[in-house]
């Protein structure tokens, strides 16, 4: 499958297309919660929002899903 972004030609060679897709998603991976290691789960539980971003909480005061 070749991904063609707006106003750009997608690469056609399979290896180039794969590298292009990886660069477009920033080398992020998608995985289910069951695939997380114990180390990753611990890191998520212990994660804290940096103090410099505390003012962003005001943006969520009236948020509704």
Query: What residue ranges do the domains of the chain occupy?
Result: 12-46
Q: Could you report the per-residue pLDDT of 6-30, keeping only the tens digit for each? A: 666 655 666 777 777 777 766 677 8
CA distance 61 to 57: 7
Structure tokens that stand for 30 in this block? 């998608």
Alpha-carbon span 28 to 45, nearest angstrom = 20
**Does pLDDT of 58 surpass 80?**
yes
Does residue 6 sit in helix, strand or coil?
Answer: coil
The model carries a pTM of: 0.42
């Amino acid at each position: 499958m070749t991904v063609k972004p707006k106003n750009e030609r997608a690469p056609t060679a399979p290896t180039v297309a794969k590298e292009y897709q990886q660069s477009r998603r920033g080398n992020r991976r998608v995985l289910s919660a069951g695939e997380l290691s114990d180390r990753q789960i611990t890191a998520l539980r212990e994660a804290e929002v940096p103090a410099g971003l505390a003012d962003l909480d005001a943006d969520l005061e009236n948020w509704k899903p």
